Amino acid sequence: MTTPSRLQLPPGDWNSLLDGLCARFPRIDRLQWESRFARGRIQDAQGRALAPDMPWQVGLEIRYFREVADEPVIPFEENILHCDAHLLVADKPHFLPTAPAGAFVRQTLLARLVERTGNVDLVPLHRLDRLTAGLVLFSTQPQTRDAYQRLFRERRIEKTYEALAPALPDLRFPLERHSRLQPGDPFFRMAEVPGEPNALTRIEVIDAHGPVWRYRLAPESGRKHQLRVHMAALGAPILGDEFYPQLHVRPERAAEPPLQLLAQALAFDDPLTGQRRSFRSTRTLCVPG
């Protein structure tokens, strides 16, 4: 079972729900929409199957299930480290997306966990890049979700990462990297630009032996690709990073190296109980052979 997407029907003069969805999503073939209707995968907000010839009703909320033909199978397994009435903590492997996007629907951490637990109310409270491994915190129920989401909005959660990157013997550690990040070119990359900083990372050295060092990274903010950009800007791009400092295009079907970045630990004061809670990944990083 996959988590449905939701859509509130916008204004339009289509004669039927099928016609409107085909117009709204022109990249999805009409036959595929007809198949979804036939299999009950277009539903109202209560989960009841809708008919394709139903009139288009502006403002109606529908649920539909994204499907990807020939979705790649990701042969790496997630682990559930903790689960209670309010939270689930998962340990994500490299290469597995956190939530459905692009070419991945069922092969995502969220879809796998919904299938394993049977809990369709699971929602990730934050996200990791597909190439980053480590801890992801999920809300297990809507009633207490906002209390935990506020931890991230108000930056009251301590996030610790580990990374492998080239040695920086000429710099003094620990250090802080402040900069302003905004979308770069191409659109999926971020770039440091002049202006008031909106990203801060604290960087320490854990192991300084050899040409590759092990670093501890603590982001104060949560900008897209922040850790990757900051390490590359210091002259030590994280091993396996094909986006920074330059975009590298791999030959077709070439093996994708794992990005040596791990979301290692999360710690916070529980907003419901006040209890101090901390979680640590069981995964480790290693220099690719």
Classify 162 as helix, strand or coil: strand
Tell me, letter by letter, the H, E, C secondary structure of 253-268: CCCCCCCCEEEEEEEE
- What are the start-end ranges of the H helices in 15-65? 17-24, 30-38
Omega of the bond leading into 174 within 30 degrees of 0 (cis): yes
Is there a catalytic annotation at residue 129? yes
The one catalytic residue in 84, 129, 185, 241 is: 129
8 A C-beta contact, residue 130 and residue 137: no
Residues annotated as catalytic are 129
